[in-house]
Amino acid sequence: MIDYARSRLRARAMGAGWPCVTAPASVALVLLFALAALAPALANPSSWKREWPKTDFSKTSVEFNEILSGGPPKDGIPSIDDPKFLPVEKITELGEKEPVITVEIEGDLRGYPLRILTWHEIVNDTVGGVPVAVTYCPLCNSALVFDRRLDGQVLEFGTTGKLRNSDLVMYDRQTESWWQQFMGEAIIGELTGKRLKFVPVRVESFARFKARGAHGRVLVPTSAWGRRYGQNPYVGYDGRSAPYPFFRGDLPDNVPPLERVVVVGKEAWAFSLLREKGRVERDDLVITWEAGQNSALDTRMIAEGRDVGNVVVQRKTEDGMVDAVHDVSFAFAFHAFHPDGTIHAE
């Protein structure tokens, strides 16, 4: 619990622009302990309505007591809504092996470094003419990109400050419905039950991103105030034997909870298996692994994180190989959202 509180304090208070920047660590820890103890009692609409007057809490697909406060208030972790980019050749601060979420639509190739997404979690952008939300949840290691178009309108997303199964709960600013990042599904509010379309992406090293083309552009900070870009506020997280105590679900029994897995639908493949084999094929699905990417959740400086490798997930088509929708998350998160799913470990 101490590890969790310290990490949450750094990431979601100091670095994310939350007002208690100068709060002593001991006071913040006490507050977080109290928050954890009170979470079930606070998980109900009556305690949320002041902050969320526009949200329709009469519509929900989940139990309210499954949703816990992650620490900050609404938008306490600020989304990036007016992103700035530089050509790939202008980027000098990124390590060659640092992880980057990469999106390419209609020849528009963009990279979103995890050194930035760790502190913001959501980027509202338009790539190749398509409005997208680029999202990253450090606690689940889930990097997912969604098409923001839904039923004739374009949604814009922010952070609620809430967690479910340790996963980011987002909200759209049009209806203030709450969305589960891992599933791309609205779970509370007017849009409950609606799903966003996933966009195929890769999480790869900066070196591999550069090799994909000189036309690539990279997200850069618009303001570094209060945020230590390049630092990992969750030091040692992916080396833990269990997720932080705010996760209350069952754990998988055939892989360590914080083992990285490649998620495709209700199936997942453990990184340990992929490292051993290098390539796994299943029907038209092809998953390959190669060394050369830092963990963003290991050492203090992301550029010094241990090598977890790069994964490419594609499908065979008549026109050749195409990138497939997938996620690289922790095993405990996959198991929480897909308890009947399969994790391939051998």
Task: Say whether 24 sits in a helix, a strand or coil.
Answer: coil
The mean per-residue pLDDT over the stretch 211-229 comes to 87
Q: Does 175 have pLDDT greater than 60?
A: yes
Half-sphere exposure for 192 (CA within 13 Å, toward CB): 13
Q: Say whether pLDDT at 18 is over 50.
A: no
| pLDDT value of residue 26 | 39
C-beta separation of 203 from 324 below 8 A:
no
Is the pLDDT confidence value at 77 over 90? yes
Q: Which of 2-6, 17-21, 82-86, 143-147 has the lowest mean pLDDT?
A: 17-21
Q: Is 28's pLDDT higher than 80?
A: no
How far is C-alpha 87 from the chain's CA centre?
A: 24
Q: Is residue 22 pLDDT above 80, yes or no?
A: no
Distance in angstroms (rounded) separating the CA atoms of residues 302 and 294: 7
pTM: 0.90
Angle at 181 between CA 327 and CA 242, to 5 degrees: 70
Residue 304's pLDDT band (boundaries 50, 70, 90)? Answer: very high
Three-class SS state of 33: helix
- Region 18-35 average pLDDT: 39
pLDDT in tens, 119-152: 999 999 999 999 999 999 999 999 999 999 999 9
Average pLDDT over residues 275-285: 97
Spatial CB neighbours of 119, under 8 Å, sequence gap ≥ 6: 11, 15, 16, 77, 227, 228, 229, 233
DSSP helix/strand/coil, 305 = coil
Sheet arrangement for strand 108-113:
84-87, 217-220, 108-113, 99-105, 202-205
Residue 1 has pLDDT above 50, yes or no: no
Q: Is the pLDDT of residue 271 over 80?
A: yes
- Read out DSSP for 260-302? EEEEETTEEEEHHHHHHHSEEEETTEEEEEES--B-SSSSSBG
Arithmetic mean of pLDDT, 278-303: 98
Mind spelling out the 3-state secondary structure of 224-236? CCCCCCCECCCCC
Core vs surface per residue 55-71: b (16+ CB within 10 A) or e? bbeeebebebeebbbbb
Q: How many CA atoms lie within 13 A of 257 on its CB side?
A: 20
Find out whether 218 and 305 touch, Cβ atoms under 8 Å: no
Q: Which single residue is written with the structure tokens 């008549």?
A: 318
Report the amino acid identity of residue 338: H
Q: Are 11 and 3 in contact (CB under 8 A)?
A: no
Mean pLDDT of the chain: 89
Query: Is there a contact between 24 and 39 (Cβ–Cβ < 8 Å)?
Result: no
Q: What pLDDT, on a 0 to 100 scale, did the predictor assign at position 14?
A: 41
Mean pLDDT of 207-216: 94
